[in-house]
Chains A and B, each alone.
Chain A
Amino acid sequence: MTHLIRPNRRTFLKTGAALGAASLGLPAFAADPKQVNFQLSWLHSVQFSGSYIASQKGYWSDLGLDVALTQGGPNAPVEPPVVSGNALMGISAADYTAAAVAQGAPFKIIAVAMQKNPFAIASLAENPVNEPSDLVGKKIGMSVSNTPVLQALCTLNNVDINAIEIVPTQYDPAPLVTGQVDCLLCWETDLPVAMTIKGVENTTMLMANHGYSVHSQTYIATEDSIADRRADLVALLKGEVMGWNDYLADTDAAAALTVEMFPDAGLDAPTQKLQAERQVPLMFSELTESNGFGWFTEDTVAANIETLALLDRNVGAELWDRSLLEEVHG
């Protein structure tokens, strides 16, 4: 195997990255890229387009990784493959991770993609829910498993949850559109986007703006992986950060890439484009602007611990580990 060295963007980057790795005291690349699985939390969509950019632009292969992006689904929990080592890193959320840790999984949150939790209350424009107090007397469609989430919102805003009628629904905008319920508990970035694309005028109230501080789309890895495969994790995060930085620069291109990369996923280009725009304020903030993508601080962690306690998840700051991200941005 002889490689003629032709200077191009990739070798340039590779050299740069190699130097960077060397300066971090990391081992130099092996000739073959390392096969790594990265478990996503849901079906392929623009929600993970930073990773697609990293993959497509070769950010990971330049760092010596061959990353397989495994999609999730309604019957594909993230925690089992990460715990069993089938996936090196997974995408979870602070509340799910806290629950898994309480059940004995040795997880750490090593970076946070969604600074603001995407949970929102969606309602139709003619009967809007703009404040938590507007929920009183309304029928809300949601999965009963999310009752603790609503309970936490109510506690944070002094609203009596018994004054809200909970209607168990599937994760589907139809009950709201057909008038069975007045509002839905859903993500800011999916059902409301679908309604807007279909021409249904709607409004959302982001729970994160009313005290609900739970990191979402968090990157998790096991303590063992952090100890034994630290270099791979740092490289994985580094590519991820580069991908998301490109995403911020051009969300339309990210949406277009997502649709192009997954022709069998049935993705709709305008929906992906709108979703890509809508998730920017959740993922990027002053904090990430000054410290870099994925960042978290003692303060944001403390706010999380407080909200998680309302969800009956009692965790300490040791659930978060910023050291890998510090190496990435360092």
Chain B
Amino acid sequence: MKRALPIIWVLLGLSLWQAGSFLSPDSLVFAGPFAIAEYMQQNAGLLARATAATTQAAIWGFLWGNLAAVVMAALIILVPKAERFTSLLALVLFCLPMLATGPILRVISGPGDIPQIALAALAVYYTTYLALIVGLRAMPQSWPDLMAIYGRGSITTLLFVRARASLPYFFVGLQVAAPAAFLGAMIGEFTGAERGLGVLTLRAMRALDVEATWTLALLAATIAMLGYWVFGWLGKWLVGYVPVIILSPTTSVARKPFWQRLVEAIALAFVILLLWQVILDVFGLNSFFAKRPGDVWMFLNSNADARATLVEAFSQTLMTTIPGYTAGLLLGVVLAMIVVLVPNLSSILMPVSVALRAVPIITTAPLIVLALGRGPVGTITVVAVMIFFPTFLVCLQGLRQTPGQVLDLFRVYQVGRLRLLFTAQVPTMLPALFAAAKMAVPAAILAVTTTEWLATGQGLGVLMALTATTSDYNMLWSCIVVITLAAVLFYAAIVVLERAVLRIYASEQVT
């Protein structure tokens, strides 16, 4: 009976869906399962070729992105001094809006699938990187200490101790990455790819081809879910054990004086600006669209109107980003807690969450806005839907990391489930929650700007999209700078909060 339960749910859902489509025949926004099946059958070859093209790009992007994440995370563990710079660079790269990177990648690479692969890689590396950083440190301080006593170097410790400790987190990172890679590849196709699911989606929406739109959304969601489940299964199979963390005593870390940190921050900003200039020069990108730091500085300095436009658009974006971000994090945490409290619910909550995350935002954003209106509620919902998923997964992993001994002790004393959750499990979840909060910063901004571009028509998203018609690339790059700066500041605020909290609850994470 238990095994049959999901099948019953699926059948029930399908019949409700079909009934709904019978209620509104000839609907031009809604397609039922039969119509989708018919479309699939009639266009099997086309769909297969498109799916193969997008999946291939997504897989390459997935591999490259995760490889980059592993290298960066290993670098940070081996050379802790590099952490600030690597984190900042990773964040800045992740903040670059696809509206800007897509065309530039296309100009650099010419025809082919490099932009799709690159955008898929960009969409995945950051979440994996953050999950790995937490995982590589998720062990008692006594383990690396022991390795040090035996005279083993940090590389050996990384390979034999830290890498194993990080595996559960790594696989969660890969699970989050699978749908993201697929979405990245689809959006990459907007830069002029010849084939793929993204190309077909665009065409279907314009042609009012409801069956095609729904089929494509369903197909994309199914593949993304498959990826999610494959990595979940691989994780279970390969890791095969529940890691035990013995909580460490609080350690005090000496903080550098304020002026020293300030100098460091300025130096980092300088290096980023230098990289910006040098990369554009090395590729010989024309300054008509590839603006350098100096161009943006001159533009903003000399143009009061532009500054005013930018500030207004930014405040509009901020008004929806912050509530959406908060709502998404809360939703993720609450869902994770519900699954821990009532494990049976996970068989419903999990697939629904994966599906919500996997359905391409280009099709969901207009639908959500259609349902909830063009006001802030619609945008906030889109953002929440976009970011709750990584939070949910990572926090669930965090909740499950509670040491067995602690759980046993609580059980011996017959502590209630809620109390167990809040006094034992939530504290072990905190590092994961902060990792999720950091992942969500650029993701939230990305979601807001995409929704603004596609549906609500205000804020920085529209300002950037306007570039396509106005060629005002100074404004586009100014938007990029503002978005990146905002994300970095937001991120820094979370780091400050994280240090204060983790110093008490998970000192092994504080370096």
Residues of A within 8 A of B (CB): 37, 43-44, 68, 70-77, 79-81, 83-84, 86, 95-96, 99-100, 102-105, 143-145, 167-175, 177-178, 180, 190-191, 194-195, 197-198, 200, 262-268, 271
Knowing that A173-B206, A198-B28, A265-B194 are A-B contacts, what are 17 other residue pairs whose CB atoms are under 8 Å apart, sorted by A's residue number? A75-B98, A76-B106, A77-B467, A80-B286, A81-B107, A83-B286, A84-B285, A95-B469, A104-B288, A144-B458, A145-B465, A170-B366, A172-B208, A178-B29, A191-B208, A266-B199, A266-B200
Asked if A96 and B208 make an inter-chain contact with CB atoms under 8 angstroms apart, the answer reads: no
Among residues of A, the one whose C-beta sits closest to the C-beta of B26 is: A199
Known contacts A144-B457, A178-B29; decide if A265 and B286 are in contact (CB<8 Å).
Answer: no
Expressed in whole angstroms, the Cα–Cα distance for A95 and B466 within the complex equals 13
Among residues of A, the one whose C-beta sits closest to the C-beta of B365 is: A170
Closest CB in chain A relative to B299 CB, distance in Å = 11
Among residues of A, the one whose C-beta sits closest to the C-beta of B470 is: A99
Asked if A84 and B286 make an inter-chain contact with CB atoms under 8 angstroms apart, the answer reads: yes
User: How many Cβ-Cβ contacts under 8 Å join chain A to chain B?
Assistant: 158
Contacts of A267 in B (CB 8 A): 203
Tell which of B53, B192, B286 touches A70, judged by Cβ atoms closer than 8 Å.
B192
Asked if A80 and B472 make an inter-chain contact with CB atoms under 8 angstroms apart, the answer reads: no
Known contacts A72-B192, A95-B469; decide if A105 and B457 are in contact (CB<8 Å).
Answer: no
Chain B residues 462-476 with CB under 8 Å of chain A are 462, 465-474
B contacts with A: majority SS: helix
Known contacts A100-B471, A265-B199; decide if A172 and B205 are in contact (CB<8 Å).
Answer: yes
Asked if A170 and B454 make an inter-chain contact with CB atoms under 8 angstroms apart, the answer reads: yes
Contacts of B466 in A (CB 8 A): 145
Contacts of A102 in B (CB 8 A): 471
> Can you list, as one digit per residue, whether each of B377-411 has a CB less than 8 Å from chain A (1) or not (0)?
00000000000000000000000000000000000
Asked if B289 and A75 make an inter-chain contact with CB atoms under 8 angstroms apart, the answer reads: no
Stretch of B183-191, B243-251, B269-277 that contacts chain A: B183-191
Tell which of B189, B195, B374 touches A168, judged by Cβ atoms closer than 8 Å.
B374
Expressed in whole angstroms, the Cα–Cα distance for A80 and B291 within the complex equals 12
Contacts of B50 in A (CB 8 A): 264, 266
Known contacts A84-B107, A144-B462; decide if A174 and B29 are in contact (CB<8 Å).
Answer: yes
6 contacts between A and B (CB under 8 A): A44-B194, A76-B190, A76-B191, A173-B208, A177-B29, A264-B195
Expressed in whole angstroms, the Cα–Cα distance for A48 and B37 within the complex equals 32
Asked if B288 and A105 make an inter-chain contact with CB atoms under 8 angstroms apart, the answer reads: yes
Contacts of A190 in B (CB 8 A): 206
B449 within 8 A of A: no
B75 within 8 A of A: no
Asked if B103 and A75 make an inter-chain contact with CB atoms under 8 angstroms apart, the answer reads: yes
Asked if B203 and A43 make an inter-chain contact with CB atoms under 8 angstroms apart, the answer reads: yes
In the A-B complex, list the 8 residue pairs whose CB atoms are closest, starting with the nearest. Answer: A168-B457, A264-B195, A76-B192, A75-B190, A100-B471, A144-B457, A80-B289, A75-B102
Asked if A77 and B103 make an inter-chain contact with CB atoms under 8 angstroms apart, the answer reads: yes
Asked if B193 and A73 make an inter-chain contact with CB atoms under 8 angstroms apart, the answer reads: yes
Expressed in whole angstroms, the Cα–Cα distance for A263 and B209 within the complex equals 17
Chain B contact patch, size range: 35 or more
Expressed in whole angstroms, the Cα–Cα distance for A171 and B205 within the complex equals 8
B343 within 8 A of A: no
Expressed in whole angstroms, the Cα–Cα distance for A128 and B188 within the complex equals 38
Contacts of A180 in B (CB 8 A): 370
Contacts of B104 in A (CB 8 A): 80
Expressed in whole angstroms, the Cα–Cα distance for A197 and B28 within the complex equals 12
Expressed in whole angstroms, the Cα–Cα distance for A194 and B194 within the complex equals 21
Contacts of B49 in A (CB 8 A): 263-264
Known contacts A72-B192, A84-B285, A268-B207; decide if A103 and B99 are in contact (CB<8 Å).
Answer: no
Tell which of B204, B289, B456 touches A266, judged by Cβ atoms closer than 8 Å.
B204
Closest CB in chain B relative to A90 CB, distance in Å = 12
Known contacts A177-B208, A190-B206; decide if A266 and B192 are in contact (CB<8 Å).
Answer: no
B202 within 8 A of A: yes
B153 within 8 A of A: no
Chain B residues 250-288 with CB under 8 Å of chain A are 285-286, 288
B212 within 8 A of A: yes
Chain B residues 89-120 with CB under 8 Å of chain A are 98-99, 102-104, 106-107, 110-111
Asked if A172 and B288 make an inter-chain contact with CB atoms under 8 angstroms apart, the answer reads: no
Asked if A194 and B208 make an inter-chain contact with CB atoms under 8 angstroms apart, the answer reads: yes
Asked if A75 and B99 make an inter-chain contact with CB atoms under 8 angstroms apart, the answer reads: yes
Known contacts A75-B191, A168-B457; decide if A103 and B471 are in contact (CB<8 Å).
Answer: yes
Expressed in whole angstroms, the Cα–Cα distance for A77 and B469 within the complex equals 8
Expressed in whole angstroms, the Cα–Cα distance for A43 and B202 within the complex equals 9
Expressed in whole angstroms, the Cα–Cα distance for A71 and B192 within the complex equals 5
Expressed in whole angstroms, the Cα–Cα distance for A77 and B473 within the complex equals 11
Asked if B456 and A73 make an inter-chain contact with CB atoms under 8 angstroms apart, the answer reads: no
Asked if A43 and B471 make an inter-chain contact with CB atoms under 8 angstroms apart, the answer reads: no
Asked if A79 and B471 make an inter-chain contact with CB atoms under 8 angstroms apart, the answer reads: yes
Asked if A77 and B455 make an inter-chain contact with CB atoms under 8 angstroms apart, the answer reads: no
Contacts of A105 in B (CB 8 A): 288, 471
Among residues of A, the one whose C-beta sits closest to the C-beta of B189 is: A73
Asked if B28 and A74 make an inter-chain contact with CB atoms under 8 angstroms apart, the answer reads: no
Expressed in whole angstroms, the Cα–Cα distance for A81 and B110 within the complex equals 9
Contacts of B374 in A (CB 8 A): 167-168
B10 within 8 A of A: no
Expressed in whole angstroms, the Cα–Cα distance for A267 and B209 within the complex equals 11
Contacts of A173 in B (CB 8 A): 28, 206, 208
B82 within 8 A of A: no
Q: Which interface residue of B102, B107, B205 has the most chain A CB atoms within 10 A? A: B107
B352 within 8 A of A: no
